[in-house]
Amino acid sequence: MRKTRYSSSKFIFVLLLLLFFIGLFVSGILQSEQRREAAFPKSGFVTAVYDGDTIKVRFNSGYERKVRLIGINAPETHDLRKEVKFHAYMAKRFTFYYLYNRKVNLTYDWELEDKYGRLLAYIWTEREGLFNEFILKEGFASVFLKFAFKYKKEFKKAEEEAQRLGRGFWKKDPFPSIRADEARNNVGKLVSVKYTCSGVQNRGKFVFLVSSGEEFSALVPQENLFLFSGLELLRGNFISVTGFLEEYKGKLQIMVFFPLQIKLIRRKP
């Protein structure tokens, strides 16, 4: 009888010890998941756009991190080649237009960070879905699969579609030419807008080259003015402005970073 009680006590002790270690193991997993969640959050707000494939996201904790979009590559803004530099700024405007100051969700792949300490993520929006795929489909980035395990087929298909249909950078210059009154139907595209420049207005950080009724404007950043000469002389002339067409507070506009984006078509009589 004594031996039986001893065996039962030993069994209970071993069982409790086992449960203790299982508890430690489960607790460790939960803490690990909590640390992962803190380091690699699932949602946040985009607070900055560095270029077409790199953004900054502020998470609910208030912590901000640079995020490199997985599976894509956009041209570099510091490239010295004129065409590449132009494409780089247009890709940046594309990402800015669709992501800046918007809530996004993030998902991850097998590699969580690159050698520069940037998060590697897939970016999801309510309207565009998987943004990494969307920018490829619209032709403002190319496929780069170094860190991608998921969505490889989707990304390649999106790029092939953009190439086939001549979207974004896959459309060789000259880009589609439209009138200012057609601009609203071409938001989100690389186009050349033709209009009579009715005014040249200095407004804070930009110089506006406005159309009649201000239905469309070309915006030259003040910091880029040193590249331009004679903007005032464009007043009253018929011009063409090429770039990424976007809408801001109901107004249609193209950001102009380089003189090559503006062409004089016809001088005023």
Catalytic residue among 118, 161, 182, 235: 118
Q: What are phi and psi of 166, to 5 degrees?
A: 65, 45
| Active-site residue flag, 68 | yes
Give the strand pairing for 129-130 and 71-73: unpaired
Q: What average pLDDT does the structure give for the chain?
A: 88
* Residue 36 a catalytic site member: no
CA distance 36 to 45: 19
Q: Are residues 18 and 11 in contact, defined by beta-carbon separation less than 8 angstroms?
A: no
> Would you call 64 helix, strand, or coil by DSSP?
strand
Residue 96 has pLDDT above 70, yes or no: yes
Domains of the chain by range and CATH?
Answer: 43-169 (2.40.50.90), 173-266 (2.40.50.140)
Q: Is the bond preceding 259 in cis, omega lying within 30 degrees of 0?
A: no
Cβ burial of 234 (10 Å; 0-12, 13-18, 19+) is: buried
**CA 140 and chain centroid, separation:** 10
58 vs 31 pLDDT, higher one: 58
Bridge-based pairing of strands 142-144 and 177-179 is unpaired
Residue-wise pLDDT for 239-255, tens only, equals 999 999 999 999 999 99
> What's the angle, vertex CA 37, arms to CA 107 and CA 45, rounded to 5?
60
Q: What is the average pLDDT across 223-233?
A: 93
Q: Determine whether 267 is an active site residue.
A: no
Whether 104 contacts 125, CB under 8 Å: yes
Instruction: State the catalytic residue, choosing from 58, 64, 76, 214.
Output: 76
Reduced to 3 states (helix: H, G, I; strand: E, B; else coil), residue 40 is coil
Q: Which of 68, 93, 133, 167 is catalytic?
A: 68
Instruction: Give pLDDT tens digits for 165-204.
Output: 999 999 887 899 999 999 999 999 999 999 999 999 999 9
Higher pLDDT, 213 or 97: 97
Distance CA 164, CA 26 (A): 52
Q: How confident is the model at residue 222 (pLDDT cuts 50, 70, 90)?
A: very high
Using CA atoms, how far apart are residues 179 and 215, in angstroms rounded to an integer? 11
Of 33-42, 75-84, 111-120, 232-241, the poorest mean pLDDT is in: 33-42
With 0-12 CB in 10 A as exposed, 13-18 as middle and 19+ as buried, what is 156?
Answer: middle
Return the pLDDT at 88: 96
What pairs with residue 246 in β-bridges? Answer: 253
Q: Would the pLDDT of 63 be above 70?
A: yes
41 vs 34: CA distance, rounded Å: 10
pLDDT in tens, 3-20: 555 566 666 766 666 665
What is the pairing mode between strands 238-248 and 251-255? Answer: antiparallel
User: Which residues sit opposite 105 in a β-bridge?
Assistant: 43, 124
What average pLDDT does range 101-115 have in this prediction?
95
